[in-house]
């Protein structure tokens, strides 16, 4: 009787949910795999290479296309442009690899390479006059369109460059004309990361280079050591140690500070006074 009473007063929607989970084996709540996405919507996969080359880059494109089947907002178009750039870099190399027995594998990779080129051209044309800050930066940085740069800088003036990627883009503009502004933009980018974000490791190489150009050796070495914490960066720490020694720096102190900065950045707690 006690069990019957407890079920009687158990919230109805929870009972329905439990029943659905039991019948479906939770399939309705599991995320779609890439294979399932392709089976449901083959058009988002068929123009890419069918073999195992560039698997990660290809999966990113397929998932992104699937997530935006009905509509592709401007920021999503920018993300897709970057995905196709990465895919093109990979598939262009793969397309040059000769397969001794299976020529269709070569043709499949060539199809992917042609798709990447075509989609980059199509998306670039479609977003040529966009006022979106991401796309304005893309049109200037990739194609040199000065009107796009003006739109991008107008967003800066209005205080709308509120993401790490946009601040890194701003730094790339200032790097050749005002290294101080470029450094501040990179610091701002670091301050905008949260602990869930993947930090762009090239920021630290840029900070090392910019501080070195300004003869700010201690700051340069400091950011060089922070950059060495990221395996994507090819940092020669022995060279950093030699520079620090020649400049009379306390190497242990610099390394401790670098580790402290790294921890704060990764925890999303970096600010200008860090």
Long-range CB contacts (< 8 A, 24+ apart) of 119-125?
119/80, 119/84, 120/81, 120/84, 120/85, 120/88, 123/77, 123/80, 123/81, 123/84, 124/81
Residue 11 has pLDDT above 60, yes or no: no
pTM of the model: 0.85
Residue 147 has pLDDT above 60, yes or no: yes
Query: Using one digit for the tens of pLDDT, what is the confidence trace for 63-78?
Result: 999 999 999 999 999 9
Query: Using one digit for the tens of pLDDT, what is the confidence trace for 196-236?
Result: 999 999 999 999 999 999 999 999 999 999 999 999 999 99
Question: Which structural domains are found in the chain, ordered by start?
Answer: 33-126 (no CATH), 162-274 (1.25.40)
Residue 17 has pLDDT above 70, yes or no: no
Mean pLDDT of the chain: 89
Residue 2 has pLDDT above 50, yes or no: no
Classify residue 159 as left (phi > 0), alpha (psi -120 to 50) or beta: left
Mean pLDDT of 163-169: 98
Rounded to whole angstroms, how far apart are CA atoms 183 and 78? 25
Find the farthest-apart pair of alpha carbons in the chain and give their distance in angstroms, rounded. 84
Main-chain dihedrals φ then ψ at residue 188, nearest 5 degrees: -60, -40
């Amino acid at each position: 009787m006690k069990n019957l009473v407890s079920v009687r007063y158990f919230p109805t929607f929870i009972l329905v949910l439990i029943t659905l989970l039991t019948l479906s084996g939770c399939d309705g709540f599991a995320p779609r795999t890439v294979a399932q996405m392709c089976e449901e919507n083959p058009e988002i996969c068929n123009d890419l290479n069918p073999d195992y080359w560039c698997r990660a880059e290809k999966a990113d494109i397929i998932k992104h296309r699937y997530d935006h089947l009905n509509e592709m907002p401007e920021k999503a178009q920018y993300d897709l442009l970057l995905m196709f750039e990465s895919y093109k870099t990979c598939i262009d190399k793969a397309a040059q690899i000769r397969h001794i027995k299976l020529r269709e594998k070569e043709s499949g990779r060539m199809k992917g390479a042609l798709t990447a080129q075509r989609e980059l051209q199509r998306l670039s044309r479609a977003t040529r006059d966009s006022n979106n800050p991401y796309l304005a930066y893309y049109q200037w940085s990739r194609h040199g369109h000065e009107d796009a740069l003006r739109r991008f800088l107008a967003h800066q003036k209005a205080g709308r460059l509120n993401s790490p990627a946009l601040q890194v883009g701003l730094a790339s503009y200032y790097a050749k004309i005002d290294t101080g502004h470029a450094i501040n933009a990179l610091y701002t980018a670091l301050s905008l990361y949260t602990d869930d974000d993947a930090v762009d490791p090239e920021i630290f190489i840029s900070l090392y280079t910019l501080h070195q150009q300004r003869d700010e050796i201690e700051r340069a070495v400091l950011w060089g050591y922070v950059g060495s914490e990221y395996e994507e960066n090819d940092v020669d720490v022995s060279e950093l140690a030699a520079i620090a020694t020649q400049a009379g720096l306390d190497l242990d102190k610099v390394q401790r500070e670098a580790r402290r900065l790294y921890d704060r950045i990764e925890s999303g707690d970096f600010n200008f006074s860090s």
